[in-house]
Structure 1
Amino acid sequence: MSEDSWAQAVDVQEATAPSSQFDLSQKLSRLRDKCNMKGDINGNIVTQRPDNGGWKAPDGDKPDLAEQSLLNKLIRRSLVRSRHQVEVLQADPTSPLYSVKTFEELRLKPELLKGVYNMGFNRPSRIQENALPMMMAQPPQNLIAQSQSGTGKTAAFSLAMLSHVNPANTWTQCLCIAPTYELALQIGQVIEQMGKFCPDVKLAYAIRGNRMERGVKLEEQIVIGTPGTVLDWCSKYKHIDPKKITLFVLDEADVMIDTQGHRDQSIRIYRLLTRACQMLLFSATFEDSVWRFAELVVPDPNIIRLKREEETLDTIKQFYVLCKEKEDKFTALCNLYGSLTIAQAMIFCHTRKMAAWLSTHLIKEGHQVALLSGEMTVEQRACVIERFRNGKEKVLVTTNVCSRGIDVEQVSLVVNFDLPVDMDGNADNETYLHRIGRTGRFGRRGFAVTMVDSERSMGIINQIEMHFNRRITKLDPSNLEEMEKLLS
């Protein structure tokens, strides 16, 4: 699809109109129709970035955190099946720890419960079971929560905000900030869907292009926006009285502090709020920088985090193949296809140029191939992934933009056409794990084959073996009998 087609898919002017109740559904469904996408229960749809015709990855095909978050939201069609256990650390260890197994236990207003079920939720996800009682507790409790895309986190804090609001009060009571325009619209879409049976609860978007007359107070009870615009609305233009905010949500904290200026703007917003304001902070990762930031803006928090489990490689058979050059790699790849019953395959290349070369040659051999690389917009990538997930292409050739977060049960083979290396030329063990983890999903058996074309590459294989304490077996693709035996 051309970038011009994508630009026509979304009416940006409408998306940034001052109305607090603009409906994204029609133009977002047009966007979906362009690539045969389906929605998920979180309302994870996205609009086009208006100022540059799309959101492109920088050179090197390593998407930034905000871009990866947006891509994950686009391709999640249901709650992910997390293998992680949830660990809860309470601010008051003597307080009873409540969890819920049904939404009825939360004693929601009937119109809210109807909205939850209307979105397709049947029961709370693992993180929702523990987080929702804390978010909705009286007296209010602060929360820091680790949550990946697809775990129901957005729906959880959206439900908390909708429950928190007093519709009789026509001023802003709940404020949520996200690191980008697109992610703010994502959250707003979830709130609009969940609150569709709550006509007295209004929503406003504090995003670029949504301008109001200075000094005019917002009557909407919930405001979703980006840090810079929210800060202006609170302090410069006086649209929001921060002293009346009783619930503050900071989403994607790890992305926030990775984005220039957003960390300081978020802290300035926090300092405008009262001590009694309830604080909810969410982050996919809990690195030291995230913890330091969280400690600044969330006093006396309850903490929900994912217990780190060892990534299991038990269901993945790992092999390497010795080759001299890319043509040898291609021949070995074709031999693999002759020996394996492959549902779908993902092949990782280091550069866009190599990915393009490989996909061209595979197509010439008659394979159904999709190509995914960083010059594509996030929306275009989501379309490619959706087609692959639906089986319209059997092979996905990609660079590192696709090494994380894509769960396709039918992937039985992952090929490292090029080895993953870090900036110093050493083994990038984390990327290797994420790559081969695209197969062997949900207990199924999978195969991972790495092409080795030099002594240096063999050294990297040895580093990976030492790191994971796993032997990677040599495979001779010219010996079909031996290969069939090893792969059986």
Structure 2
Amino acid sequence: IRQIPRCLCLSPTYELALQTEKAIEQRGTFYPSAEELKLACAVRGNKLERVQKISEQIVIGTPGTVLDWCSKLKFIDPKKIKVFVLDEADVMIATQGHQDQSIRIQRMLPRNHSVLKFAQKVVPDPNVIKLKHEEETLDTIKQCYVLCSSRDETFQPPHTIAQAMIFCHTRKTASWLAAELSKEGHQVALLSGEMMVEQRAAVIEHFREGKEKVLVTTNVCTRGIDVEQVSFVINFDLPVDKDGNPDNETYLHRIGRTGRFGRRGLAVNTVDTKHSMNILNGAQEHFHKKIDRLTQMLWTRLRK
């Protein structure tokens, strides 16, 4: 009997979709008929032949490509889907394009298929499972800040660290900073959303392999990138929402790129204006965690 897709998982980014695919493949080896468990990744750049349907039981992808596979290309019959997963639902809801596409996909599913009513619009009377994710993440991460009089004076990662990720607010800033760090002799990789997916995959793979020690990126890497060696995160720009208000959720996910797998990590925030200091104070209040100023004495102690 020919297999057809039964499970559909939507992720907000290409990188997160690939990571989910890899995690399912690893866990799938314990499935009684592992050789029969097949996955397809519906992401930009993954070209398929013009076949009528695909046979993989699980499809993981980003909303735009999944929508194309369901409606335009007819690779997937959404009426046959039994399980629908909306990964990182808060991002999907907050991002207009993702929200619209996800709703269109959900409407194609069987009528009795009820998934999050996008918080209230998607599930009446839901079962809620709460995880103390914030506390668990922050307990293994030391948070600090440095005061800078200008951007050129911003704190730089030392050459002795394992690997570091530096987050910037815009692509322009990320490109400039990567160039400046390269001049200082750092092995630097740059990752931002306008790059082709093949380029992004190559950059992340090189970083995982340790070919570059510093990854400068925008929020494209905030979620879904797990690299064990990352011991250091720098918020070159503190995260804000579209109205310029503190974005504590993004802050949590950014610094959560370190302190993974029970290891200890360090997050350093650069502060160069009164506004950025206010954002930092907002994070302290939100997470009930003191963020100390990084002095030479503290820096020496943390590096031991």
- Bin the TM-score by the shorter chain: 0.7 to 0.9
1:115 aligns with 2:59: no
Partner of 2:204: 385
Matches within 5 A, 1:207-222: none
Contact 2:187 2:212 in 1 (8 A): yes
Aligned to 2:226: 407
Aligned-partner Cα distance in 2 for 1:261–1:310: 28
* RMSD of Structure 2 on Structure 1 (CA): 4.1
Aligned partner of 1:308 in structure 2 is 131
Pick from 163, 188, 206 the counterpart of residue 369 of structure 1: 188
- For residues 37-186 of structure 1, the aligned pairs below 5 Å read 67-68=12-13, 70-76=14-20, 78-79=22-23, 103-104=31-32, 112-116=33-37
2:301 and 2:67 mapped to 1: Cα distance? Answer: 59
Secondary structure of 1:342 counterpart: coil
The CA deviation string for residues 233-283 of structure 1, in whole angstroms up to 9 with x for no partner, is 99xxxxxxx9xx7x4336455669945476357536635xxx8xxx5x77x
Q: Aligned equivalents of 2:192 and 2:152: distance in 1?
A: 21
Amino acid at match of 1:115: E
Q: How many angstroms apart in 1 are the aligned matches of 2:143 and 2:56? A: 41
| Match in the other structure for 1:343 | 162
**Once the two structures are superposed, what CA deviation does each residue of 1:179-204 show, in whole Å capped at 9, x if it has no partner?**
9787896x947449xxxxxxxxxxxx
- Give SS of 1:415's match: strand
Asked if structure 2 preserves the Cα contact closer than 8 Å seen for 1:179 and 1:262, the reply is no
Secondary structure at 1:226 match in 2: helix
Q: What is the aligned partner in structure 2 of residue 220 from structure 1?
A: none
Counterpart residue number, 1:270: 110
CA distance in 2, matches of 1:365, 1:462: 31
Report the alpha carbon displacement of residue 347 of structure 1 after superposing the two structures with TM: 0.4
TM-score by length of 1: 0.48
Whichever residue aligns with residue 452 of structure 1, its letter is V
Q: Distance in 1 between matches of 2:172 and 2:271?
A: 19
Structure 1 partner of 2:252 = 433
Residue deviations 1:18-61, cap 9 Å, x none? Answer: xx99xxxxxxxxxxxxxxxxxxxxxxxxxxxxxxxxxxxxxxxx
- Work out the CA distance in 2 between the residues paired with 1:189 and 1:342: 45
Q: Give the letter for the 2:146 counterpart.
A: V
Deviation at 1:375, TM superposition (A): 1.6
Q: Which amino acid aligns with 1:455?
A: K
- Decide which of 112, 126, 142 is 1:317's aligned counterpart: 142
Residues 67 and 378 in structure 1, CA contact (< 8 A), matched pair in contact too: no
Amino acid at match of 1:368: Q
Counting aligned pairs with the same residue, the percent is 45
Segments of 5+ residues of structure 2 without an aligned counterpart are 4-9, 25-29, 59-65
What is the CA-CA distance between 1:346 and the residue it aligns to? 0.2
Gap regions ≥5 residues in structure 1: 1-19, 22-64, 81-101, 105-111, 120-154, 159-177, 193-205, 209-224, 235-241, 296-300
Q: TM-score, normalised by structure 2?
A: 0.73
State the partner residue of 1:237: none
Match of 1:222 in 2: none
- 2:184 & 2:199 partners in 1: Cα distance? 25
Deviation by residue 1:331-360 (Cα, 9 ceiling, x = unmatched): x31xx516xx41100001111111111111
Whether the aligned pair in 1 keeps the contact of 2:238 and 2:269 (CA below 8 Å) is yes
Shift in alpha-carbon separation, 1:189–1:406, aligned structure 2, 3 A: farther
What corresponds to 2:121 in structure 1? 292
Shift of 1:443: 0.7
Secondary structure of the residue that 1:350 maps to in structure 2?
Answer: coil
